[in-house]
Amino acid sequence: MIITNRLLAIDIFRGLAVAYMILGNTPGSWDYVFPVLQHAKWHGWTPTDLVFPFFLFIVGLAMAYSLSHYSDIDRNKKIIRRSGLIFLFGFMLNGFPYTLEAFEHWRILGVLQRIAIVYGVVALLINNLTHRQLLYFMVINWLVYWAVLALGASGSDPFSLEHNVVRQFDLWFLGANHVWQGHGIPFDPEGVLSTWPALTTTLLGYCAGVWLKQLLPAQRIPHTSQAIMRETGLKMLGVGGALILAAYLLSAMGLPINKSLWTPSFVLLSGGWAFIILGILINLFPMSHTPKTLSPVLAFGCNPLLAYIIADLWVRILYSVHITQAQDQTAYEWLFNQVFIHWGGPWLGSLSFAVTHVLIIGLIMYGLYQKKVLFKV
Protein backbone atom coordinates (compact mmCIF):
# COMPACT_ATOMS: atom_id res chain seq x y z
CA MET A 1 0.00 0.00 0.00
CA ILE A 2 1.50 3.33 -1.13
CA ILE A 3 0.86 6.60 0.71
CA THR A 4 0.96 9.82 -1.33
CA ASN A 5 -0.05 13.47 -1.11
CA ARG A 6 -2.50 12.98 -3.97
CA LEU A 7 -6.23 12.75 -3.44
CA LEU A 8 -6.95 9.17 -4.44
CA ALA A 9 -10.55 9.92 -5.47
CA ILE A 10 -9.38 12.09 -8.40
CA ASP A 11 -7.20 9.34 -9.88
CA ILE A 12 -9.94 6.75 -9.43
CA PHE A 13 -12.49 9.06 -11.07
CA ARG A 14 -10.23 9.58 -14.09
CA GLY A 15 -9.50 5.86 -14.44
CA LEU A 16 -13.18 4.93 -14.30
CA ALA A 17 -14.07 7.59 -16.88
CA VAL A 18 -11.45 6.34 -19.35
CA ALA A 19 -12.45 2.69 -18.91
CA TYR A 20 -16.16 3.50 -19.34
CA MET A 21 -15.39 5.59 -22.43
CA ILE A 22 -13.67 2.61 -24.06
CA LEU A 23 -16.51 0.29 -22.98
CA GLY A 24 -19.12 2.54 -24.58
CA ASN A 25 -17.14 3.03 -27.79
CA THR A 26 -16.50 -0.62 -28.68
CA PRO A 27 -19.66 -2.77 -28.67
CA GLY A 28 -19.59 -5.84 -30.86
CA SER A 29 -22.53 -4.39 -32.80
CA TRP A 30 -24.32 -1.06 -32.45
CA ASP A 31 -27.55 -3.00 -33.01
CA TYR A 32 -27.07 -4.79 -29.69
CA VAL A 33 -26.18 -2.24 -27.04
CA PHE A 34 -27.83 -2.19 -23.62
CA PRO A 35 -29.62 1.13 -22.94
CA VAL A 36 -27.24 2.08 -20.14
CA LEU A 37 -24.38 2.07 -22.68
CA GLN A 38 -26.24 4.03 -25.35
CA HIS A 39 -26.31 7.76 -25.88
CA ALA A 40 -29.65 9.55 -25.79
CA LYS A 41 -30.97 9.90 -29.34
CA TRP A 42 -31.39 13.65 -28.90
CA HIS A 43 -32.94 15.25 -25.79
CA GLY A 44 -32.49 13.57 -22.43
CA TRP A 45 -29.49 11.71 -21.10
CA THR A 46 -28.04 8.33 -20.18
CA PRO A 47 -25.05 7.45 -17.99
CA THR A 48 -22.97 7.18 -21.17
CA ASP A 49 -23.75 10.81 -22.01
CA LEU A 50 -22.02 11.84 -18.79
CA VAL A 51 -18.68 10.18 -19.48
CA PHE A 52 -17.22 12.84 -21.80
CA PRO A 53 -18.24 15.80 -19.59
CA PHE A 54 -16.86 13.85 -16.62
CA PHE A 55 -13.53 13.68 -18.38
CA LEU A 56 -13.57 17.43 -19.11
CA PHE A 57 -14.54 18.08 -15.47
CA ILE A 58 -11.55 15.99 -14.38
CA VAL A 59 -9.29 17.94 -16.76
CA GLY A 60 -10.29 21.10 -14.91
CA LEU A 61 -10.00 19.35 -11.55
CA ALA A 62 -6.46 18.26 -12.35
CA MET A 63 -5.47 21.72 -13.58
CA ALA A 64 -6.10 23.11 -10.09
CA TYR A 65 -3.17 20.95 -9.00
CA SER A 66 -0.94 20.66 -12.07
CA LEU A 67 -0.73 24.21 -13.42
CA SER A 68 0.87 25.44 -10.22
CA HIS A 69 3.91 23.30 -11.11
CA TYR A 70 4.57 25.29 -14.30
CA SER A 71 6.91 28.25 -14.00
CA ASP A 72 5.45 31.64 -14.90
CA ILE A 73 8.01 32.08 -17.67
CA ASP A 74 7.09 29.09 -19.85
CA ARG A 75 3.56 28.30 -18.64
CA ASN A 76 1.69 29.75 -21.67
CA LYS A 77 4.15 28.12 -24.07
CA LYS A 78 3.69 24.69 -22.48
CA ILE A 79 -0.09 25.06 -22.49
CA ILE A 80 -0.22 25.95 -26.20
CA ARG A 81 2.22 23.16 -27.10
CA ARG A 82 0.28 20.52 -25.19
CA SER A 83 -3.06 21.67 -26.57
CA GLY A 84 -1.70 21.60 -30.12
CA LEU A 85 -0.27 18.09 -29.78
CA ILE A 86 -3.50 16.63 -28.35
CA PHE A 87 -5.46 18.27 -31.19
CA LEU A 88 -3.02 16.81 -33.74
CA PHE A 89 -3.38 13.30 -32.27
CA GLY A 90 -7.16 13.49 -32.59
CA PHE A 91 -7.05 14.98 -36.08
CA MET A 92 -4.66 12.29 -37.36
CA LEU A 93 -6.74 9.51 -35.79
CA ASN A 94 -9.81 10.77 -37.66
CA GLY A 95 -8.09 10.37 -41.02
CA PHE A 96 -6.79 6.83 -40.48
CA PRO A 97 -6.20 4.75 -42.66
CA TYR A 98 -5.46 7.79 -44.90
CA THR A 99 -7.20 6.77 -48.12
CA LEU A 100 -8.47 9.20 -50.74
CA GLU A 101 -12.03 8.66 -49.50
CA ALA A 102 -10.91 9.33 -45.93
CA PHE A 103 -9.28 12.55 -47.06
CA GLU A 104 -12.46 13.74 -48.78
CA HIS A 105 -14.51 13.07 -45.62
CA TRP A 106 -11.87 13.80 -43.00
CA ARG A 107 -13.65 14.81 -39.83
CA ILE A 108 -11.86 17.85 -38.44
CA LEU A 109 -13.09 17.84 -34.85
CA GLY A 110 -13.68 15.04 -32.34
CA VAL A 111 -13.20 13.99 -28.72
CA LEU A 112 -9.45 14.64 -28.45
CA GLN A 113 -9.77 17.87 -30.42
CA ARG A 114 -12.40 19.16 -27.98
CA ILE A 115 -10.23 18.16 -25.03
CA ALA A 116 -7.31 20.00 -26.62
CA ILE A 117 -9.25 23.19 -27.30
CA VAL A 118 -10.93 23.25 -23.91
CA TYR A 119 -7.71 22.47 -22.07
CA GLY A 120 -5.81 25.17 -23.94
CA VAL A 121 -8.42 27.91 -23.51
CA VAL A 122 -9.22 27.13 -19.86
CA ALA A 123 -5.55 26.80 -18.90
CA LEU A 124 -4.74 30.17 -20.49
CA LEU A 125 -7.72 31.72 -18.70
CA ILE A 126 -6.55 30.29 -15.38
CA ASN A 127 -3.05 31.58 -16.06
CA ASN A 128 -4.20 35.11 -16.80
CA LEU A 129 -7.35 35.74 -14.71
CA THR A 130 -8.04 35.93 -11.01
CA HIS A 131 -10.42 33.44 -9.39
CA ARG A 132 -13.15 36.06 -9.27
CA GLN A 133 -12.68 36.90 -12.95
CA LEU A 134 -12.86 33.20 -13.78
CA LEU A 135 -16.20 32.94 -11.99
CA TYR A 136 -17.52 35.95 -13.92
CA PHE A 137 -16.30 34.41 -17.19
CA MET A 138 -17.90 31.04 -16.39
CA VAL A 139 -21.31 32.55 -15.65
CA ILE A 140 -21.24 34.96 -18.62
CA ASN A 141 -20.04 32.19 -20.96
CA TRP A 142 -22.91 29.96 -19.81
CA LEU A 143 -25.54 32.70 -20.26
CA VAL A 144 -24.30 33.93 -23.63
CA TYR A 145 -24.26 30.42 -25.09
CA TRP A 146 -27.86 29.97 -23.89
CA ALA A 147 -28.83 33.17 -25.70
CA VAL A 148 -27.03 32.12 -28.89
CA LEU A 149 -28.78 28.73 -28.86
CA ALA A 150 -32.21 30.27 -28.29
CA LEU A 151 -31.92 33.18 -30.73
CA GLY A 152 -29.61 31.96 -33.45
CA ALA A 153 -31.55 28.99 -34.85
CA SER A 154 -32.98 28.98 -38.38
CA GLY A 155 -36.31 27.29 -37.55
CA SER A 156 -39.14 27.47 -35.07
CA ASP A 157 -37.49 24.99 -32.66
CA PRO A 158 -34.02 26.30 -31.73
CA PHE A 159 -33.11 22.97 -30.10
CA SER A 160 -34.06 20.64 -32.97
CA LEU A 161 -31.49 18.52 -34.78
CA GLU A 162 -32.13 20.13 -38.15
CA HIS A 163 -32.38 23.81 -37.22
CA ASN A 164 -30.08 24.45 -34.24
CA VAL A 165 -27.46 27.15 -34.63
CA VAL A 166 -24.65 24.73 -33.70
CA ARG A 167 -25.27 22.68 -36.81
CA GLN A 168 -25.74 25.72 -39.05
CA PHE A 169 -22.45 27.24 -37.93
CA ASP A 170 -20.47 24.00 -38.32
CA LEU A 171 -21.85 23.41 -41.83
CA TRP A 172 -20.76 26.91 -42.80
CA PHE A 173 -17.38 26.77 -41.07
CA LEU A 174 -16.33 23.14 -41.55
CA GLY A 175 -18.43 21.89 -44.46
CA ALA A 176 -20.86 18.97 -44.55
CA ASN A 177 -18.16 16.43 -45.54
CA HIS A 178 -15.99 17.19 -42.53
CA VAL A 179 -18.44 16.71 -39.67
CA TRP A 180 -19.94 13.62 -38.02
CA GLN A 181 -22.75 11.87 -39.89
CA GLY A 182 -24.03 9.58 -37.13
CA HIS A 183 -27.42 11.29 -36.72
CA GLY A 184 -28.33 10.61 -40.36
CA ILE A 185 -27.58 14.20 -41.38
CA PRO A 186 -24.38 16.21 -41.03
CA PHE A 187 -24.13 17.27 -37.40
CA ASP A 188 -21.06 17.20 -35.18
CA PRO A 189 -21.61 16.66 -31.43
CA GLU A 190 -18.03 17.87 -30.94
CA GLY A 191 -18.41 20.82 -33.26
CA VAL A 192 -17.10 24.37 -32.95
CA LEU A 193 -19.98 26.13 -31.20
CA SER A 194 -20.82 23.27 -28.84
CA THR A 195 -17.20 23.31 -27.64
CA TRP A 196 -17.91 26.76 -26.22
CA PRO A 197 -20.10 25.60 -23.26
CA ALA A 198 -17.66 22.75 -22.59
CA LEU A 199 -15.36 25.47 -21.25
CA THR A 200 -17.85 25.94 -18.41
CA THR A 201 -17.84 22.20 -17.66
CA THR A 202 -14.06 22.26 -17.31
CA LEU A 203 -14.14 25.44 -15.24
CA LEU A 204 -16.59 23.73 -12.88
CA GLY A 205 -13.98 21.03 -12.43
CA TYR A 206 -11.32 23.65 -11.79
CA CYS A 207 -13.52 25.30 -9.16
CA ALA A 208 -13.98 21.90 -7.50
CA GLY A 209 -10.22 21.42 -7.50
CA VAL A 210 -9.52 24.83 -5.98
CA TRP A 211 -12.14 24.15 -3.30
CA LEU A 212 -10.64 20.74 -2.53
CA LYS A 213 -7.19 22.28 -2.18
CA GLN A 214 -8.59 24.68 0.39
CA LEU A 215 -10.46 21.98 2.29
CA LEU A 216 -7.73 19.36 2.01
CA PRO A 217 -4.25 20.88 1.54
CA ALA A 218 -2.00 18.37 -0.25
CA GLN A 219 0.64 18.27 2.47
CA ARG A 220 -2.00 17.31 5.03
CA ILE A 221 -3.83 14.63 3.02
CA PRO A 222 -1.89 11.66 4.48
CA HIS A 223 -2.69 12.90 8.00
CA THR A 224 -6.29 14.08 7.46
CA SER A 225 -8.88 12.29 9.56
CA GLN A 226 -11.51 10.20 7.83
CA ALA A 227 -14.20 12.37 9.40
CA ILE A 228 -12.87 15.50 7.67
CA MET A 229 -12.48 13.67 4.37
CA ARG A 230 -16.04 12.37 4.57
CA GLU A 231 -17.33 15.82 5.51
CA THR A 232 -15.62 17.13 2.36
CA GLY A 233 -17.28 14.39 0.33
CA LEU A 234 -20.69 15.35 1.70
CA LYS A 235 -20.12 18.98 0.71
CA MET A 236 -19.41 17.81 -2.84
CA LEU A 237 -22.63 15.79 -2.78
CA GLY A 238 -24.59 18.86 -1.70
CA VAL A 239 -23.23 21.02 -4.53
CA GLY A 240 -23.92 18.24 -7.02
CA GLY A 241 -27.51 17.88 -5.89
CA ALA A 242 -28.09 21.64 -6.20
CA LEU A 243 -26.69 21.71 -9.75
CA ILE A 244 -28.86 18.77 -10.84
CA LEU A 245 -31.95 20.41 -9.36
CA ALA A 246 -31.14 23.63 -11.26
CA ALA A 247 -30.72 21.60 -14.47
CA TYR A 248 -34.20 20.11 -14.16
CA LEU A 249 -35.72 23.48 -13.33
CA LEU A 250 -34.25 24.89 -16.56
CA SER A 251 -35.48 21.85 -18.45
CA ALA A 252 -39.00 22.48 -17.13
CA MET A 253 -38.67 26.08 -18.37
CA GLY A 254 -38.02 24.87 -21.93
CA LEU A 255 -34.24 24.46 -22.01
CA PRO A 256 -33.77 20.74 -22.79
CA ILE A 257 -30.97 18.59 -21.44
CA ASN A 258 -29.02 17.71 -24.57
CA LYS A 259 -25.44 16.43 -24.74
CA SER A 260 -25.03 16.92 -28.50
CA LEU A 261 -25.79 20.63 -28.14
CA TRP A 262 -24.11 20.73 -24.71
CA THR A 263 -27.00 22.90 -23.55
CA PRO A 264 -26.62 25.01 -20.37
CA SER A 265 -28.95 22.60 -18.56
CA PHE A 266 -26.70 19.70 -19.62
CA VAL A 267 -23.70 21.61 -18.26
CA LEU A 268 -25.41 21.82 -14.87
CA LEU A 269 -26.62 18.21 -14.93
CA SER A 270 -23.27 16.68 -15.91
CA GLY A 271 -21.40 18.99 -13.54
CA GLY A 272 -23.77 18.04 -10.74
CA TRP A 273 -23.24 14.34 -11.29
CA ALA A 274 -19.47 14.91 -11.46
CA PHE A 275 -19.58 16.56 -8.03
CA ILE A 276 -21.68 13.65 -6.72
CA ILE A 277 -19.34 10.95 -8.09
CA LEU A 278 -16.36 12.85 -6.69
CA GLY A 279 -18.07 13.13 -3.31
CA ILE A 280 -18.92 9.42 -3.28
CA LEU A 281 -15.33 8.47 -4.13
CA ILE A 282 -13.95 10.74 -1.41
CA ASN A 283 -16.28 9.00 1.06
CA LEU A 284 -15.40 5.51 -0.16
CA PHE A 285 -11.65 6.17 -0.38
CA PRO A 286 -11.09 8.92 2.18
CA MET A 287 -7.35 8.48 2.58
CA SER A 288 -4.44 8.79 0.14
CA HIS A 289 -3.53 5.12 0.52
CA THR A 290 -3.32 3.24 -2.79
CA PRO A 291 -4.51 -0.37 -2.32
CA LYS A 292 -3.20 -2.86 -4.86
CA THR A 293 -6.77 -3.84 -5.76
CA LEU A 294 -7.27 -0.37 -7.26
CA SER A 295 -4.16 -0.54 -9.42
CA PRO A 296 -6.01 -1.58 -12.63
CA VAL A 297 -8.33 1.44 -12.33
CA LEU A 298 -5.48 3.79 -11.50
CA ALA A 299 -3.53 2.42 -14.47
CA PHE A 300 -6.17 3.86 -16.83
CA GLY A 301 -6.06 7.16 -14.99
CA CYS A 302 -2.28 7.51 -15.21
CA ASN A 303 -2.20 7.29 -19.01
CA PRO A 304 -5.67 8.42 -20.15
CA LEU A 305 -4.56 9.95 -23.45
CA LEU A 306 -2.51 6.91 -24.44
CA ALA A 307 -5.35 4.54 -23.46
CA TYR A 308 -7.81 6.44 -25.66
CA ILE A 309 -5.41 6.62 -28.62
CA ILE A 310 -4.58 2.89 -28.50
CA ALA A 311 -8.25 1.91 -28.17
CA ASP A 312 -9.38 4.19 -30.99
CA LEU A 313 -6.52 3.23 -33.31
CA TRP A 314 -7.09 -0.50 -32.71
CA VAL A 315 -10.77 -0.22 -33.61
CA ARG A 316 -9.92 1.72 -36.77
CA ILE A 317 -7.42 -0.98 -37.77
CA LEU A 318 -10.04 -3.70 -37.26
CA TYR A 319 -12.52 -1.76 -39.41
CA SER A 320 -9.94 -1.18 -42.17
CA VAL A 321 -9.02 -4.89 -42.51
CA HIS A 322 -11.49 -6.86 -44.65
CA ILE A 323 -11.96 -10.64 -44.42
CA THR A 324 -12.80 -11.38 -48.06
CA GLN A 325 -13.72 -15.02 -47.47
CA ALA A 326 -16.45 -14.00 -45.05
CA GLN A 327 -18.63 -11.93 -47.36
CA ASP A 328 -16.23 -8.98 -47.21
CA GLN A 329 -16.70 -8.49 -43.50
CA THR A 330 -14.33 -6.22 -41.63
CA ALA A 331 -12.12 -7.83 -39.01
CA TYR A 332 -14.21 -6.06 -36.36
CA GLU A 333 -17.44 -7.61 -37.70
CA TRP A 334 -15.80 -11.00 -38.18
CA LEU A 335 -14.60 -11.15 -34.57
CA PHE A 336 -18.06 -10.37 -33.28
CA ASN A 337 -19.95 -12.69 -35.66
CA GLN A 338 -17.55 -15.62 -35.57
CA VAL A 339 -16.33 -15.53 -31.98
CA PHE A 340 -18.34 -13.52 -29.47
CA ILE A 341 -21.88 -13.96 -30.76
CA HIS A 342 -21.61 -17.77 -30.71
CA TRP A 343 -21.03 -18.16 -27.00
CA GLY A 344 -22.78 -15.08 -25.69
CA GLY A 345 -25.59 -14.42 -28.13
CA PRO A 346 -26.00 -11.00 -29.78
CA TRP A 347 -26.56 -8.95 -26.61
CA LEU A 348 -24.10 -10.53 -24.20
CA GLY A 349 -21.71 -11.15 -27.09
CA SER A 350 -21.73 -7.46 -27.96
CA LEU A 351 -21.14 -6.50 -24.34
CA SER A 352 -18.37 -9.08 -23.85
CA PHE A 353 -16.71 -7.79 -27.02
CA ALA A 354 -16.53 -4.32 -25.43
CA VAL A 355 -15.43 -5.68 -22.06
CA THR A 356 -12.65 -7.65 -23.77
CA HIS A 357 -11.33 -4.45 -25.32
CA VAL A 358 -11.36 -2.73 -21.93
CA LEU A 359 -9.43 -5.67 -20.44
CA ILE A 360 -6.85 -5.74 -23.23
CA ILE A 361 -6.21 -2.00 -23.07
CA GLY A 362 -6.23 -2.31 -19.28
CA LEU A 363 -3.49 -4.94 -19.36
CA ILE A 364 -1.35 -2.64 -21.50
CA MET A 365 -1.97 0.29 -19.17
CA TYR A 366 -1.31 -1.87 -16.11
CA GLY A 367 2.05 -2.96 -17.51
CA LEU A 368 3.01 0.68 -18.05
CA TYR A 369 1.71 1.57 -14.59
CA GLN A 370 3.83 -1.13 -12.97
CA LYS A 371 6.91 0.21 -14.76
CA LYS A 372 5.91 3.82 -13.92
CA VAL A 373 5.86 4.76 -17.60
CA LEU A 374 3.77 7.90 -18.19
CA PHE A 375 2.83 9.21 -21.63
CA LYS A 376 2.98 13.00 -21.39
CA VAL A 377 2.67 15.70 -24.02
The closest alpha carbon to 83, from 55, 59, 117, 56, belongs to 117
Task: Name the percent of the chain lying above pLDDT 90.
Answer: 49
Can you give the pLDDT at residue 225?
64
Q: What is the mean pLDDT of residues 76-94?
A: 91
Torsion over CA of 248, 39, 41 and 155, rounded to 10 degrees? 60
Evaluate if residue 50 carries a pLDDT over 90. Answer: yes
pLDDT-based confidence at residue 9 (cuts at 50, 70, 90): confident
Q: What is the mean pLDDT of residues 29-48?
A: 90
pTM, full prediction:
0.90
pLDDT digits (tens, 9 = 90+) for 90-126: 999 988 887 777 778 888 899 999 999 999 999 999 9
C-alpha 60/C-alpha 118 separation (Å) is 9
SS (H, E, C) the chain: CEECCCCHHHHHHHHHHHHHHHHHHCCCCCCCCCHHHCCCCCCECCHHHHHHHHHHHHHHHHHHHHHHHCCCCCHHHHHHHHHHHHHHHHHHHHHCCCCHHHHHCCCCCCHHHHHHHHHHHHHHHHHHCCHHHHHHHHHHHHHHHHHHHHHCCCCCCCCCCCCCHHHHHHHHHCCHHHCCCCCCCCCCCCCCHHHCCHHHHHHHHHHHHHHHHHHCCHHHHHHCCHHHHHHHHHHHHHHHHHHHHHHHHHHHCCCCCECCCCCHHHHHHHHHHHHHHHHHHHHHCCCCEECHHHHHHHHHHHCHHHHHHHHHHHHHHHHHCEEHHHCCEEHHHHHHHHHHHHHHHHHHHHHHHHHHHHHHHHHHHHHHHHCCCCCCC
pLDDT higher at 278 or 223 = 278
The closest alpha carbon to 25, from 314, 359, 354, belongs to 354
Q: What is the mean pLDDT of residues 263-289?
A: 88
Evaluate if residue 346 carries a pLDDT over 70. Answer: yes
Range name among 138-147, 215-224, 252-261, 347-356 with the lowest pLDDT average:
215-224
Can you give the pLDDT at residue 6?
61
Domain ranges in the chain are 1-34+289-377, 39-287
Q: What is the mean pLDDT of residues 182-202?
A: 90
Evaluate if residue 1 carries a pLDDT over 50. Answer: no
Q: Residue 262 CB: number of other CB atoms within 10 A?
A: 29
Can you give the pLDDT at residue 233?
82
